[in-house]
Amino acid sequence: MDKAQNEKQLKINPELFQPAEYDPSKVEVITRPSLTFWKDASRRLLQNRGATFGLILLTIILCFALFAPIFSSYKYSDQNLRHAKLPPKMPYIEKLGVMDGKDKDGFDWYATKKVDKYYYFGTDDLGRDQWTRIWTGARISLLIGLIAASVDLLIGVMYGGISGYYGGRLDTIMQRLVEVLMGVPYLIVVILFILLFEEPGVLTISLAMVVTGWVSMSRVVRGQILKLKNQEYVLASRTLGSPDGRLIFKHLLPNVMGPIIVMTMFTIPSAIFAEAFLSFIGLGIKPPLASLGSLVSDGYKSIRTYPHLMMYPALVISSLILSFNLVADGLRDALDPKMRK
């Protein structure tokens, strides 16, 4: 095929072409909207269905824990032996055939005992309102979680940060100390504090957490700092004459924030669970104060006759821990730069 034929066939001629517009000042323009790291992360978090569900569940539990005891007409310690061991009864929902004041055999205790009040989650063997007690207990659990998170953030981050940043002999000494602390079982520490304060409670649990709870966080932070402190942007900042404080707060900590948040979110449920466990074996919260763990422990004794006493606190504690874990999982994915699309 000769050239003329070829051109004819393709029907290409110079008039079809126009010079492209070339403006050197426009070459570098970025059209994508500017997204900060946190905007990007929250967008990815909300795309994760599990995490969104966890977030909603967590908000609901948080609201109930905050407001249910306030708006309840009973106090968590109010006893009314005449109303003991009533099954749950909730307005409106009772019409559906559940939570209608009847026990498992279909016997209506509210009518028998002539009780015209509603006990949403029933009452325990001393006639205390289970609804109020559960949400008060959830408050205790959340408080423990909050203390655990603060201990992690304050002591764990600081300890790990100092150990990783300064390195050398200081790092060696601090890490040996951590290894010693890791070897001490949490239960032993709790028992020691109970001996010291003569009675168990929120204080002993939190103090035991202050002693050992921050260890894993400090390790994570130390590892991250060790990795980051030789990054070129940190070196660049050092060559510009940054003081240590600026390096730590402007360059290192913002970049460790992701793992720190994820770690905290995993610490909270494990602390709540630890408290529940301690309360269950009788080393936690003392009555009349209730925690979710102690409620489960009490309800467990009469599980065959009054299943509601154990079922509801167990349900609340499970959903609380589940929601925290779901959110933590979602956060871990959202904050991981490798997940960025």
Partner 1 sequence: MENKKVLVEVKNLKQYFNVGKGNTVKAIDDITFDIYKGETFGLVGESGSGKSTTGRTIIRLYDATSGNVIYNGEDVHGKKSRAQLKDLNRKIQMIFQDPYASLNPRMTVADIIAEGIDIHGLAKSKEERMKMVYDLLETVGLNREHASRYPHEFSGGQRQRIGIARALAVQPEFIIADEPISALDVSIQAQVVNLMKKLQKEKGLTYLFIAHDLSMVKYISDRIGVMHRGRIVELANSDDLYANPIHPYTKSLLSAIPLPDPNYERNRKRVVYDPTVHDYSKEEPVLREVKEGHWVLCSEDEFSKYKDEYKF
Contacts to partner 1 by CB under 8 A: 25, 28-30, 32, 34-37, 231-233, 235-242, 246, 250-251, 254-255, 337, 340
Q: State the minimum distance, in angstroms, from the CB of residue 42 to partner 1.
A: 15
Q: State the minimum distance, in angstroms, from the CB of residue 12 to partner 1.
A: 28
For 277, the 3-state DSSP assignment is helix
Is 5 or 239 the residue whose CB approaches partner 1 more closely?
239
Is 183 or 241 the residue whose CB approaches partner 1 more closely?
241
Q: State the minimum distance, in angstroms, from the CB of residue 222 to partner 1.
A: 20
241: left (phi over 0), alpha (psi -120 to 50) or beta: left
Is 253 or 311 the residue whose CB approaches partner 1 more closely?
253
| Torsion over CA: 213, 215, 216, 220 (sign) | positive
* Spatial CA neighbour of 49 closest among 261, 258, 319, 330: 330
Q: State the minimum distance, in angstroms, from the CB of residue 209 to partner 1.
A: 30
Q: State the minimum distance, in angstroms, from the CB of residue 274 to partner 1.
A: 33
* Spatial CA neighbour of 305 closest among 105, 128, 84, 82: 105
Residue linked to tokens 């028998």: 112
Is 98 or 235 the residue whose CB approaches partner 1 more closely?
235
Distances (CA, A) of 341 to 40, 60, 258, 338: 10, 31, 17, 8
- CA separation for the pair 207, 162 (Å, rounded): 23
Is 9 or 230 the residue whose CB approaches partner 1 more closely?
230
